[in-house]
Amino acid sequence: MPNITLYKPKGIWAWGPDDIVTFMSDGFLSDGNYVGGAMTEVFEKSTGRMTEEDLRAIATFLSSTSKHQAPDRVHNMFQ
């Protein structure tokens, strides 16, 4: 399952706009990762039904937000 957190090395910050659009529309990434868990319902009932224009708008927004806001590590909520 893809990492859709803001975690810099492997999260959504490492994705390009096309990766984001493909993931939200098809449920897959070019590396073979696919939608799973709770994201399956989001894909099936929402993002998988969006227009290309809407998906591009979301991808543009996510790609334009400041990457310095992303955490350098994954936070463990149980610590």
Q: Where do the structural domains in the chain lie, given as residue ranges?
A: 12-65
Over the chain (79 residues), the average pLDDT of each successive run of 10 is: 60 80 86 82 90 94 66 50
Q: Per residue in 25-59, is it b (16+ CB within 10 Å) or e — as a string?
A: bebeeeeeeebeeebeeebeeebeeeeeeebbeeb
pTM strictly above 0.75: no
pLDDT of residue 61: 86
pLDDT of residue 79: 44
pLDDT of residue 78: 44
pLDDT of residue 35: 82
